[in-house]
């Protein structure tokens, strides 16, 4: 389906997105609605990252 090099590029992109969500969460500490929204998106991102790690191990 994907080559190992392509999976590594996807992993880097997900890491960058994770860093962006952490930054957005820090910037919106006073806005609970935005924090909840970013936290939900970050949790989905973590699920994808975990599945990608399993694929890279195989």
Give the pLDDT confidence of 22-41 residue by residue, as tens digits: 999 999 999 999 999 999 99
- The three-point CA angle 24-43-31 to 5° equals 35
- Which position has the higher pLDDT, 1 or 46? 46
Query: 4: helix, coil or strand?
Result: helix
- The structure's pTM equals 0.80
């Amino acid at each position: 389906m994907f080559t190992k090099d392509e999976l590594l590029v996807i992993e880097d992109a997900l890491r960058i997105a994770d860093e962006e969500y952490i930054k957005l969460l820090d910037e919106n500490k006073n806005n609970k609605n935005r924090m909840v929204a970013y936290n939900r998106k970050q949790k989905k991102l973590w699920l994808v990252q975990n599945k990608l790690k399993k694929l890279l191990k195989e």
